[in-house]
């Protein structure tokens, strides 16, 4: 409750950050906490977010036009920045990019937020559209590496680019959030996934 109180009255905090940034962080934290506690998207409202964040509804509406936009920004806040790659070897760049996906994040709730939320996002056309705006720039970095590989001849010319994007990223998501196959050591997983996808299962 002490935490709630200090969050509810951010002006009493140390003066390092501007008031609006502190309120925004309290709102984002409230949304993430509610999702991590298992609340369904349908039950999140501007009212319930405001109550949990200890702010007035007007504070939320000053920054966001709708509940869906708050949720998208909250989820986006869990993402690492759009990555950069060295641009020398396609294999190395893919390993760099895949290593970042589904990383055990600094807050244990984050994995749960993502995995509970994404299937709900998938069923809500507006949210799904906005969420794509968050992940598409990240996917685009990998897509450009694949296209570069086709140009340099490091990848086959008839590559099924969209499916290869999925085939590279999905194993990282599934193994790191669900520990799907306990027989797989997570050390070096990105390398093994990239190499399996590059080499192919059929004989050369």
Contact residues toward a second copy (CB under 8 A) are 37-40, 43, 108, 111-112, 115-116, 118-123, 128, 132, 135, 139, 146, 149, 153-157, 159-160, 162-167, 169-171, 173-175, 177-184, 189, 192-193, 195-204
What token pair was written down for 57?
């509804």
- Minimum Å gap between C-beta 90 and a second copy is 9
**Toward a second copy, which CB reaches closer, 12 or 123?**
123
Sign of the torsion formed by the C-alpha atoms of 138, 141, 146 and 147: positive
- Minimum Å gap between C-beta 20 and a second copy is 31
**Toward a second copy, which CB reaches closer, 8 or 135?**
135
What token pair was written down for 180?
């799907």
- Minimum Å gap between C-beta 116 and a second copy is 4
| Rounded Cα distance, 194 and 94, in Å | 7
**Toward a second copy, which CB reaches closer, 10 or 171?**
171
- Minimum Å gap between C-beta 172 and a second copy is 8
**Toward a second copy, which CB reaches closer, 59 or 175?**
175
């Amino acid at each position: 409750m002490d935490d709630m109180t200090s969050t509810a009255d951010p002006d009493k905090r140390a003066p390092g950050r501007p008031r609006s940034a502190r309120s925004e962080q309290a709102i984002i934290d409230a949304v993430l906490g509610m999702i991590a506690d298992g609340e369904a998207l349908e039950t999140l409202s501007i009212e319930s977010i405001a109550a949990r964040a200890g702010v007035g509804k007007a504070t939320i509406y000053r920054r966001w036009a709708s509940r869906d936009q708050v949720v998208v920004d909250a989820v986006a806040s869990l993402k690492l920045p759009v990555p950069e790659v060295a641009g020398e070897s396609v294999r190395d760049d893919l390993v760099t990019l895949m290593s970042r996906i589904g990383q055990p994040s600094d807050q244990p709730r984050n994995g749960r937020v993502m995995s509970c939320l994404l299937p709900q996002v998938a069923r809500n056309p507006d949210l799904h559209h906005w969420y794509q705006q968050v992940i598409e720039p990240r996917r685009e970095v990998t897509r450009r590496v694949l296209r570069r590989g086709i140009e340099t001849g490091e990848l086959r010319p008839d590559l099924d680019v969209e499916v290869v994007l999925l085939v590279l990223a999905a194993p990282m998501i599934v193994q790191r959030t669900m520990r799907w196959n306990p027989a797989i050591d997570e050390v070096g997983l990105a390398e093994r996934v990239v190499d399996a996808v590059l080499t192919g299962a059929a004989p050369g």
